[in-house]
Amino acid sequence: SSELTQDPAVSVALGQTVRITCQGDSLRTYHANWYQQKPGQAPILVISGKNNRPSGIPDRFSGSSSGTTASLTITGAQAEDEADYYCNSRDRSGNRKLFGPGTKVTVL
């Protein structure tokens, strides 16, 4: 399969931990990247590769992977973390970019 799947929505209490997952066969071969998108804004990269945070991304964001599942964990979620989160990887050929359908994170 050349698809990535994500849960449509998750909620987390302020200050608690939430894990968002992304599943796909291509994740056996390629790392997942994670993007945060707030309403009316462009996506921003929060995790790339194995577990790399771009400059300016808080260390409460972390990534992990096992088999066909990649995960983004927010440890100590803040109100400003409420957003849509998309995973992305490549298809088996490596020549096409795949995006998951996105997970809406609500911070309660």
Residues forming contacts to other proteins in the complex (CB under 8 A) are 33, 35, 37, 41-45, 48-49, 54, 84, 86, 88, 90, 94-102
Q: Nearest distance from residue 94's CB to other proteins, in Å?
A: 6
Angstrom distance (rounded) from CA 10 to CA 81: 12
* CB-nearer residue toward other proteins: 76 or 101: 101
Residue 94's alpha-carbon distances to 30, 31, 90, in angstroms, are 8, 11, 5
How far is residue 2's CA from residue 4's CA, in Å, rounded to a whole number? 7
Torsion of CA 48, 54, 57, 62, to 10 degrees: 30
Q: Which is nearer to other proteins, 5 or 75 (CB)?
A: 5
Question: What is the nearest approach in angstroms of other proteins to the Cβ of residue 13?
Answer: 26
Q: How is residue 108 written in tokens?
A: 């309660």
Shorter beta-carbon distance to other proteins: residue 18 or 35: 35
Least gap, CB of 27 to other proteins (angstroms): 14
Are β-strands 9-12 and 17-23 bridged in parallel, bridged antiparallel, or unpaired? unpaired
How far apart are CB 60 and other proteins at their closest, in Å? 20
